[in-house]
Amino acid sequence: MISAPRVSDSLDILYGLKEHLELNDSVKNCIIQDDTLNDLSFDELVIANCKIKNVSFVGSNLPKADFSDIIFENCDFTGVNLEKSTFKRITFINCKLNGTILNNTYLDNISFVDCIENEIVFDDARFSNTEFKNSSLKDSLFSNITFRSLEFTNCDLSSANFSNTSMNGLDLRTCNISGIITYAKDIRGVILTSEQSLSFIHLLGITIIDE
């Protein structure tokens, strides 16, 4: 079971996040809403115990960030660099993460719900208790990842790349996996419908001819 963010019910609104970060390297215990932080550049940013709604981070460079106990709602992370970051007890609701870079990240108790995450990059990421629900992950990259309890429900994984990732235990029965990329050595233990299995049959060197 995924642990929900531990966000306080009594939080004050923080106005002017960009100005706040000119004097502080962390953001804690607040509500942030209706703000634009495009092209922000900040190493090792810390955000904890926050509700963040309608905030745009488009094109920002935020490597080695440390995020914990946050609810992101209607936020835009398009093209954001978050490599080598840590995420703990985070919920993303109706967010955009198109082309977001999450290489070498650690994700623990994370929910992505109703998100658009096409071309998102999770190369060498580590997942623990993470779920993707009703989200678009077309052309996403999940190569070289490791996971403990990773769930996909009603997601579009068309042309997603799982190369060099063991898919053992992944249940993809409710997902669109057309054009998915992986290797024969990695598909052992994946859970599919009989129709979906045809997407992987070529990896086994089998040719099917219906006369």
69-119 confidence digits (pLDDT tens): 999 999 999 999 999 999 999 999 999 999 999 999 999 999 999 999 999
Q: Which residue has the tokens 């440390």?
A: 66
Number of H helices, E strands in the chain: 2, 8
**Within a domain: 126:** yes
pLDDT attached to residue 210: 66
pLDDT at 194: 85
Question: Is position 211 within any domain?
Answer: no
Q: Distance (Å, rounded) from C-alpha 101 to C-alpha 103?
A: 6
Residue 7 domain-assigned? no
209 residue type, one letter: I
Q: Do residues 32 and 14 lie in contact, with contact meaning Cβ atoms separated by under 8 Å?
A: yes
Separation of alpha carbons 178 and 175, rounded Å:
9
What DSSP character marks residue 194? Answer: H
Domain count for the chain, please give it: 1
Q: Does a structural domain hold residue 2?
A: no
Asked whether residue 57 is domain-assigned, the answer is yes
Measured in degrees and rounded to the nearest 5, phi and psi for residue 186 equal -105, -5
Measured CA to CA, the distance from residue 136 to residue 170 in angstroms comes to 17
Instruction: Assess whether pLDDT exceeds 90 at residue 203.
Output: no
Please, what is the average pLDDT of the chain?
Answer: 94
Alpha helices (runs of H) in the chain, residue ranges in sequence order: 17-21, 194-197
| Domain assignment of residue 210, yes or no | no
User: pLDDT tens across 111-150, in order?
Assistant: 999 999 999 999 999 999 999 999 999 999 999 999 999 9
Residues forming a β-bridge with 170: none
- Say what the pLDDT of residue 38 is: 94
Question: Which domain does 137 fall in, by range?
Answer: 12-204
Q: Which CATH number covers residue 83?
A: 2.160.20.80
**95, part of any domain:** yes
Look up the pTM and report it.
0.94
Q: Is residue 4 part of a domain?
A: no
